[in-house]
Structure 1
């Protein structure tokens, strides 16, 4: 685990610090890191065997998932992406067949159309979920953007949870953990897959 802001940092401070760090990374460096992360992920047997891949649609300087989505769809793999219901403070995943189906939703992030049918929990069995975040620790805990949408979804999610993280997004210190926070099972990095289970 690489960078850290100390064990006494709260989530707001961590969020602010890691947003600044991410924004400062040159575009070319981000692209190189993301290509290595994608290679680690594609070589991971659990990801390779998944019948369905749930993934966020990358926005701004997030670790790129659009290339992953395009590759999977081209290969005939099943892909679903999130749609946020801000009023209900909830998030569903809907299967897609092209990135062209998506339209700007909350905060301008691309998501399925309002009439897209959400997948049910039983339909998610055998899937993996690629989870976004700003920083992750060795136990799989994360600091996200503060909305809580992923933690609420992951609390009932039946598959494997995989974070995508550049080295600059890894903390050597444990992160603050809330009662409703759900850790990821694995972290895909430039150098390989980190197993967070049992740590």
Structure 2
């Protein structure tokens, strides 16, 4: 069931509402939804054929990406994960060969070791896909994240396809508030469905 907190709500209210709703999901139900999202993603040719996948490393109640990352690595494809500069909030992606190369970093989120992993450049990104986190998305691909702006700064210059992973309850039936620096995703993968946003 799609949910919405209304078009007149500001981002802070929406963020708080969806954070609270996500925390209420029972663990077994969350695990089933996330497995369904994983299966849908694996059947999506754009993802399945991408030679390089940029992926967030899930934290807390986010859609779980650990199995996705492991599966991509086992398929022989490349994976990049983000490292955030806590001072500037700029985000860079580093290529990992194993989840053993990550450890808690910015806000306790697992991040790559820049001394062990290769920094990916814009040239690497052509033909890649980027899995984008968020709290709520609308039909046009606009999203509300956690308020840091890290992904929007990165996605502004990113040349590949942007894929959101979202449980159906994270899809708003109303348009979300949008600011000039917000970057929409191209596709949203939910339990059993892929939504083309633009």
Instruction: Answer yes or no: same fold by TM over 0.5.
Output: yes
- Under a length normalisation based on structure 1, what TM-score does the superposition of the two structures give? 0.97
Q: Map Cα deviations across residues 130-169 of structure 1 (whole Å, 9 max, x no partner).
A: 0000000000000000000000000000100000000110
The residue number in structure 1 matching 2:49 is: 49
Deviation at 1:77, TM superposition (A): 1.3
Q: Return the alpha-carbon distance in structure 1 between the equivalents of residues 114 and 107 of structure 2.
A: 15
The residue number in structure 1 matching 2:104 is: 104
The residue number in structure 1 matching 2:178 is: 177
Q: Tell me, which stretches of 5 or more residues in structure 2 are unaligned?
A: none
The residue number in structure 2 matching 1:72 is: 72
The residue number in structure 1 matching 2:114 is: 114
Q: Return the alpha-carbon distance in structure 2 between the equivalents of residues 74 and 68 of structure 1.
A: 10
Q: Return the alpha-carbon distance in structure 2 between the equivalents of residues 75 and 114 of structure 1.
A: 24
Q: C-alpha root-mean-square deviation of aligned residues, in Å?
A: 0.9
Q: Return the alpha-carbon distance in structure 2 between the equivalents of residues 67 and 191 of structure 1.
A: 17
The residue number in structure 1 matching 2:16 is: 16
Please give the secondary structure, in 1, of the residue aligned with 2:118. coil
Q: Kindly indicate whether residue 147 of structure 2 is the aligned counterpart of residue 146 of structure 1.
A: yes
Q: Map Cα deviations across residues 16-57 of structure 1 (whole Å, 9 max, x no partner).
A: 000000000001111000011111110011111111000000
Please give the secondary structure, in 2, of the residue aligned with 1:171. coil
Structure 1, 96-105 or 68-77: larger mean CA deviation: 68-77
- Under a length normalisation based on structure 2, what TM-score does the superposition of the two structures give? 0.97
The runs of 4+ residues in structure 1 deviating greater than 6 Å are none
The residue number in structure 1 matching 2:81 is: 81
Q: Return the alpha-carbon distance in structure 2 between the equivalents of residues 88 and 136 of structure 1.
A: 26
Please give the secondary structure, in 2, of the residue aligned with 1:130. strand
The residue number in structure 1 matching 2:169 is: 168
Contact 2:94 2:114 in 1 (8 A): no
Structure 1, 84-93 or 110-119: larger mean CA deviation: 110-119
Q: Return the alpha-carbon distance in structure 2 between the equivalents of residues 180 and 61 of structure 1.
A: 26
Q: Tell me, which stretches of 5 or more residues in structure 1 are unaligned?
A: none
Q: Return the alpha-carbon distance in structure 2 between the equivalents of residues 191 and 71 of structure 1.
A: 19
